[in-house]
Amino acid sequence: DKVLTEFAEYFLVDRFELWWRDLSGQTTTRTYCWTKEEIDRTPSSFKLSEIPWMAGQVANNKILHVADTSKLPAEAIYERKLTEYIDSKAFAVFPLRIKEGEERIGSGRVAMSESTRDWTEQELKELNLAFSVIATAEARMRTKAELQSRERFHALVAEVSTDLLNESLDNSSLTVALRKFSMHFGIDSLACWWLSENRESISRTAAWRKDENNPEYSTFQVASVPYYRSLVLAGEVVAVADINSLPAEAKGEREMSMAGGVTATLLVPLSLTAERDFVGFGSAMMFGETREWPEQDIEDLQLAFNVIAIAESRMRNQVALQTRERFRSMLANISTSLLEAELKEIGNHSIAVCHVFVF
């Protein structure tokens, strides 16, 4: 923020902004901004499809500069409306790259709100250098934050694994573990689903929701979600950033998600062995907003779900063992009771015979 202020004052601009592209490359989000305006009416995020002319100009890593926004070309329909709305008289957009020749990671933007401005070649070169310095600093800061996040995640995995090993396992233990992972990733809901032996139905066995309205255990037929079924059973990850973007053949999945208020979902196969014998899947869901699923998040969630799945498998084995032990105990008690009853009956008969011989 301090650097943006210094650059803005040096270049005598009314706005100095940093915009970062998301992983899909379809959306750009403002990460930092300095403005002399008291009220900021500029949207904080754009889909590049909403600003096609501008997106097309900067796609090839070229600097875009407009001295007078009232003279924007006819094809810049949305951009003209936007500049009128935010009262921008002139602007320049610069590609953000860490190194020359690398793919653009975002954009830097300066704007004038009170007057037009002819951008000189020297100003454009200096502004481009200034944004490169800022982009490098932010990338380094993001890398540091990502490393810290990785450390926190691995510490969380160790903590959850230890808890699940030391505790007497039950469904509440799994719910607590899912809650911890949900809070780490900022996800509204996590759940584990297990396939039946014939793989025709699937049951939600453990779940946690941010609104604390934890869903009941439920079962449905796998055939009702054919699009998801074919992918999950093949061991593929299903990452849906926006439920509305599901293909036409996923009509049932889209309707089911919309009925439940789900706006983004991620499904990862659950496997207990290296042979990829899938027993079900883990689901991550968002309610009310879309969400991109970066590869690192997918890998981490796969690990988190496997930790839960292994614990749940151990719990199931313990329950099965306890059930068998109860049955064996019951069988032994019944056998003993029947034997004692038979011996008692034999004893009574012998006493009666003795009485006959005595008399």
At 298-333, the pLDDT tens digits run 999 999 998 888 888 787 666 666 677 777 777 777
pLDDT at 338: 76
Please give the backbone phi and psi of residue 186, each rounded to the nearest 5 degrees, phi first. 70, 40
CA distances from 149 to 20, 37, 294 (A): 19, 35, 14
Measure the CA–CA gap between 43 and 59, rounded to whole angstroms: 20
Reported pTM? 0.63
Across the chain, mean pLDDT equals 82
Residue environment code for 94-133, b if the CB has 16+ CB neighbours within 10 A, otherwise e? bbbbeeeeeebbbbbbbbbbeeebebeeebeeebbebbbe
Residue 353 has pLDDT above 50, yes or no: no
Which tokens hold the place of 74? 């006819």
> Per residue in 14-62, pLDDT tens?
999 988 887 767 788 888 888 887 667 777 888 888 888 888 877 777 8
The H or E element spanning position 110 is strand 106-112
* Measured distance CA(41)–CA(31) in Å, rounded: 15
**What's the mean pLDDT in 237-242?**
92
Q: Nearest CA to 59 among 14, 16, 93?
A: 93
DSSP 225-274: -HHHHHHHHTT--EEES-GGGS-GGGHHHHHHHHHTTEEEEEEEEEESST
Out of 153-162, 214-223, 280-289, least confident range: 214-223
Residue 101 pLDDT > 60: no
Residues 175/207, Cβ–Cβ less than 8 Å = yes
DSSP state of 215: P
